[in-house]
């Protein structure tokens, strides 16, 4: 993961080596030669995805000059580097702290998430409110696809009710815990302290943030919204619709995978989408 960039660019090599120093362990060893299980550790997965995204955006140079940015959950941190709100080093330190804090919260409260397909958001929201225990909408991924998050029993009960209500599928996800739910409160509090000590600069373009789905350019508001992100939902459907309404003409997904391109096609089939590329 990312080895082609490391081998093909002195800039990428410098950034990866700096990341090893910031993180306090050689994430490059795990990214380049580690097992799938090694990469699945939260403390590795989040910095690895962040690194891949940010390094690629830097290698693209003038080919990547965004007029607006957004990132899904963890991706919001790389989006904030892309628009100049956060420096690479500061953002990586926050991502590392976020991953560690989330891992601890997961271990303290066994919990999970489930993808609900084929129901209107309002139906999913109403049924979650009927369930005893903690279960909330967590990721509004696209119309007809909403991920719920909560304690294990509540997720099971909600999946049963949602299936009875007409969901095409209710799929429990292989995740470490109930991300973007109240169960992440210990992690939110821990990350908030680190975020409060980090400099947020005026961005070069708006960021559409997870918690509200709207464009933001005020550094102080961006900082506050980033703190709220861990326990609040990812309003990706709203982000995509708002970006389109605000004149979005092309989507470039910078990072590993093509998931977000597929989600954008769900809201606008005619929208040009592509993956970020660079020439070694």
Supply the DSSP symbol for 104. Answer: H
The active-site residue, picked from 9, 111, 180, 181, is 180
Tell me, yes or no, if 275 is annotated catalytic: no
CA distance 71 to 274: 15
Coil, strand or helix at 194: helix
Q: Which of 86, 27, 31, 25 is nearest to 54 (CA)?
A: 86
Tell me, yes or no, if 280 is annotated catalytic: no
CA distance 97 to 173: 24
Distance of CA 224 to the CA centre of its chain: 17
DSSP codes, 116-148: EESS-HHHHHHHHHHSSS-EEEEEEEETTEEEE
The bridge status of strand 111-117 relative to strand 169-172 is antiparallel
Supply the DSSP symbol for 183. Answer: G
The active-site residue, picked from 73, 78, 149, 181, is 73
Contact between 127 and 97 (Cβ < 8 Å): no
Active site residues: 73, 180
């Amino acid at each position: 993961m990312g080895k082609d960039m490391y081998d093909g660019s002195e800039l990428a090599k410098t950034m990866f080596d700096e990341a090893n120093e910031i993180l306090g362990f050689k994430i490059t060893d795990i990214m380049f030669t580690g097992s799938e299980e090694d990469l699945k550790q939260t403390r590795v997965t989040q910095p690895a995805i962040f690194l891949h995204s940010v390094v690629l955006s830097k290698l693209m140079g003038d080919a990547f000059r965004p007029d607006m940015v957004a990132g899904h959950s963890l991706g919001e941190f790389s989006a904030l580097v892309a628009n100049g709100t956060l420096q690479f080093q500061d953002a990586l330190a926050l991502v590392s702290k976020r991953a560690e804090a989330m891992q601890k919260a997961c271990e303290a409260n066994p919990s999970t998430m489930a993808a609900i397909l084929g129901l209107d958001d309002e139906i999913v929201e109403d049924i979650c409110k009927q369930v005893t225990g903690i279960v909330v909408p967590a990721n509004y991924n696209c119309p007809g696809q909403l991920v719920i998050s909560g304690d294990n029993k509540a997720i099971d009960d909600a999946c049963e009710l949602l299936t009875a209500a007409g969901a095409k599928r209710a799929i429990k996800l292989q995740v470490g815990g109930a991300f973007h739910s109240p169960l992440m409160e210990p992690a939110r509090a821990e990350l908030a302290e680190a975020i409060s000590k980090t400099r947020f600069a005026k961005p070069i373009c708006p960021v559409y943030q997870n918690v509200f789905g709207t464009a933001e350019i005020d550094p102080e508001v961006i900082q506050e919204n980033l703190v709220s992100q861990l326990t609040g939902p990812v309003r990706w459907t709203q982000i995509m619709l708002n970006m389109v309404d605000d004149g979005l003409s092309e989507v470039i997904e910078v990072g590993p995978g093509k998931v977000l391109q597929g989600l954008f096609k769900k809201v606008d089939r005619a929208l040009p989408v592509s993956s970020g590329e660079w020439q070694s």
